[in-house]
Amino acid sequence: MKKENRGQWGSRFGFIMAAAGSAVGLGNIWRFPYLAGENGGGAFIIFYLIFVVLIGMTVMLTEFSVGRMTATAAVGSFKSVDKRWTFAGVIGVLSAFLIMGFYPVVGGWAVAYIFKSVTGLLSNPDVIGSSFDTFITGTWEPLIWTAIFLILNVFVVVRGVSSGIEAAGKILMPMLFVLLIIIIGKGLTLPDAGKGLEFLFKPDFSKVSGKMLLSALGQAFFSLSLGMGCMITYGSYLKKEENLPANTFIVSGLDTLVALMAGLAIFPALFSFGMEPAGGPGLVFVVVPTIFAKMGGIGTVLSLIFFVALFVAALTSSVSLLEVATSYFIDERGWTRSKAVVFVATIMIVLCILSSLSLGVMGGFKILGVGVFDLLDILTDKIFLAVGGVLVTVFAGWSVKKEDLFNEVTNNGTVPFALLNVWYGLVKYVAPIIISIVAIVGIAGIAQKGVMFLGLSIFVILAIFSKKL
366 CB neighbour count, 10 Å cutoff? 15
Tell which one of 15, 22, 73, 105 touches ligand TRP (CB under 6 A).
22
The Cα 309–Cα 303 span in angstroms is 10
The Cα 409–Cα 68 span in angstroms is 9
Largest Cα–Cα separation, the chain: 63
* Residue nearer to ligand TRP on the CB measure, 273 or 459: 459
Contact map string, positions 23 to 62, toward ligand TRP, x by CB under 6 A: x-xxxx----------------------------------
The Cα 324–Cα 97 span in angstroms is 9
* Residue nearer to ligand TRP on the CB measure, 72 or 225: 225
Q: Do residues 129 and 419 lie in contact, with contact meaning Cβ atoms separated by under 8 Å?
A: no
Q: Is 77 in the site for ligand TRP (CB under 6 A)?
A: no
Backbone torsions φ then ψ of 367, nearest 5 degrees: -110, 120
Tell which one of 228, 264, 295, 354 touches ligand TRP (CB under 6 A).
228
The Cα 104–Cα 143 span in angstroms is 10
Min dist CB 327 to ligand TRP, Å, is 13
Min dist CB 47 to ligand TRP, Å, is 18
Q: Is 391 in the site for ligand TRP (CB under 6 A)?
A: no
Please return the burial class of 318, using the count of CB atoms within 10 Å of its CB with bins 0-12, 13-18 and 19+.
buried
Q: Do residues 103 and 26 lie in contact, with contact meaning Cβ atoms separated by under 8 Å?
A: yes
* Residue nearer to ligand TRP on the CB measure, 24 or 293: 24
Tell which one of 86, 317, 355, 393 touches ligand TRP (CB under 6 A).
317
Q: Is 223 in the site for ligand TRP (CB under 6 A)?
A: yes
The Cα 109–Cα 111 span in angstroms is 5
Min dist CB 217 to ligand TRP, Å, is 13
Min dist CB 288 to ligand TRP, Å, is 17
With contacts defined by CB under 6 A, name the span among 22-30, 132-140, 263-271, 359-367 that binds ligand TRP. 22-30
Q: Is 424 in the site for ligand TRP (CB under 6 A)?
A: no
Min dist CB 230 to ligand TRP, Å, is 4
Q: Is 320 in the site for ligand TRP (CB under 6 A)?
A: yes
* Residue nearer to ligand TRP on the CB measure, 173 or 385: 385
Q: Do residues 216 and 36 lie in contact, with contact meaning Cβ atoms separated by under 8 Å?
A: no
With contacts defined by CB under 6 A, name the span among 105-113, 163-171, 217-225, 358-366 that binds ligand TRP. 217-225
Q: Of how many residues is the chain composed?
A: 469
Q: What is each CA distance from 146 to 88, 176, 204, 430, in whole angstroms?
A: 29, 21, 39, 40
CA 164 to chain centroid, in Å, comes to 19
* Residue nearer to ligand TRP on the CB measure, 102 or 271: 102
Q: Is 65 in the site for ligand TRP (CB under 6 A)?
A: no
Q: Is 230 in the site for ligand TRP (CB under 6 A)?
A: yes
Q: What share of the chain is helix, strand, coil (3-state, %, to 5)?
A: 80, 0, 20
Residues of this chain that interact with ligand TRP (CB under 6 A) are 22-23, 25-28, 99, 222-223, 225, 228, 230, 317, 320-321, 385
